[in-house]
Amino acid sequence: MLKISTIAMWLAMNAAAALADSAPARAEGEAAASGQTPASTPAASMPDASLPAASRPAPKPAASAQGPAPSDQTGWFDSLSAQAQQLEEKYGTRLGLGSAYTEQAPLAGEHQGAARGGWSYWLGIEQRLWPGATLSAGAEGGAGKGLERIFPTYSGLNDSAAEPEAIYLADLHIFQKLDEDRLALAGGIMNLTQWFDKNAVANNSSTQFLSSSLVNNPTIPFPYAMPGIMVQRALTDWASFQTGVAFNDALAHQFFPLHYQYLREDFVVNVNELDLTAKLNEREGHYRLLYWLDHRCETILDGDRRTSQGFAASVDQSVAEHVTLFARYGLSQRQVPPVEQFWSFGGELAQPLPDRTEDALGAAVAQSILRHAVHGAAETLYELYYRFAITHALYLTPDLQFISNPAGDSNADFTVVLGLRLSLSF
């Protein structure tokens, strides 16, 4: 198993070598005001530190000459964008904000007609410090538990619902590029999904799929808003490796002061990922292979306590103009939740209509396969959405979900859930 000391030593060795041998860091590339890291960033060039990950806006398709963009093309959005760009150019400061409200109601099944909603938001700031270094800080929060309170599933019906607090610190970390941007280090309060298990079309519940299982792989035990460190290293122009460690939820209320007894190896989650970039018929794709270790001991069914590990993969591949397919797979030793295997597959069609340059249509299926000891059936979720761009920053998204064997119960009714999401991202 990969120990904390090994990771720290590897981090220190790479940092020392980079500081001794590297040329001055290249000027940072142009980035969107929202802080979104494009999925197509080449592996050899480490991505910029980004604003809080929970509600990052999805990449927007380029405007087309075939039809008009949304109605605010010369209005308030362009004015704010210009001011934000001036702020970044003059002071090295990037601001971001986003919010989403979703209402969902079962159309069929045991809870038919029981509508529930959930609201979430995020605020972020990123400040350039010295060459290659940025400081990121962000807050998140929300209200409303959504349907999960009355209709629990392993897939999660709305990843934006059920925020733990009305407001909390979600991000406070420094990101440093070294060795001509081929090495990157990050440390602080962070969310490992900001860098791991990424996906171009299934990674954002504010603008893409609502289900948690279509945002991140549910078999990976990602700690959220916890102290941690992350190291990225470009191996070639088409491959990179990254590793990260984060402390578990025992630290949630211990930031100030940070009690030493919690900084033990058996409270640490370690995630490792190999990123590969390839082209299929001259269309770019991204292939991610993950291995994780959860040092948090859990009691298993026979009474023993042990750490757990697992494997995962995340793929997105452009296959035609405006069409991107994705797939995920996960295998886990964890007992809670009792999802032993997981897979998902789907895609997104950008600009489904010629004159709707920022709209998108998405469809996917995800299945959570439970352990035999649970005596349950595999839970399967199907999701379909259409993201309608009202303006460059405001989206309305009708969403439809179909769930069979919810919570692994083969006796439960087949359920259809209709949702409507209004989201703002800037």
8 A C-beta contact, residue 361 and residue 383: no
Residue 36 lies in a domain: no
- Which 3 state secondary structure label does DSSP give 79? helix
Does pLDDT of 373 surpass 70?
no
- Total domains present in the chain: 1
Q: What is the mean pLDDT of the chain?
A: 78
Name the token pair of 27.
């000027």
List, for residues 375-389, the tens digit of each pLDDT value: 567 899 999 999 999
Residue 139 lies in a domain: yes
Residue 51 lies in a domain: no
Here the CATH number for the domain that contains residue 175 is 2.40.160.180
Per-residue confidence band for 298, with pLDDT thresholds at 50, 70 and 90: low
Percent pLDDT > 90 in the chain is 46
Say which amino acid occupies 418.
Answer: L
338 compared with 218, residue with greater pLDDT:
218
Does pLDDT of 20 surpass 50?
no
- Rounded to whole angstroms, the Cα distance separating 28 from 30 reads 7
Domain that holds residue 231: 4-22+56-425
Name the token pair of 337.
């939740």
Cα distances (angstroms) measured from residue 291 to each of 26, 315, 329, 332, 333: 31, 15, 12, 10, 12
Residue 82 lies in a domain: yes
Per-residue confidence band for 145, with pLDDT thresholds at 50, 70 and 90: confident
Residue 337: name the closest of 155, 192, 211 by CA: 155
List, for residues 405-422, the tens digit of each pLDDT value: 888 888 888 889 999 999
Residue 357 lies in a domain: yes
Which of 165-179, 268-282, 309-323, 328-342 comes out lowest in average pLDDT? 328-342
Residue 44 lies in a domain: no
Per-residue confidence band for 354, with pLDDT thresholds at 50, 70 and 90: confident
- E strands in 191-320: 226-234, 239-247, 268-280, 283-299, 305-320
Highest mean pLDDT among 8-12, 100-104, 115-119: 100-104
261 compared with 383, residue with greater pLDDT:
383
Does pLDDT of 253 surpass 80?
no
275 compared with 35, residue with greater pLDDT:
275
Residue 39 lies in a domain: no
Does pLDDT of 70 surpass 90?
no
8 A C-beta contact, residue 249 and residue 228: no
Per-residue confidence band for 9, with pLDDT thresholds at 50, 70 and 90: very low
DSSP H or E segment with residue 369: strand 360-370
Cα distances (angstroms) measured from residue 350 to each of 150, 197, 213, 248, 358: 34, 22, 21, 37, 7
The pLDDT score that the predictor gives to residue 248 is 65
Phi/psi of residue 169, nearest 5 degrees: -75, 115
DSSP H or E segment with residue 16: helix 4-21
Does pLDDT of 336 surpass 70?
no
Residue 35 lies in a domain: no
Q: What DSSP state is assigned to residue 375? A: T
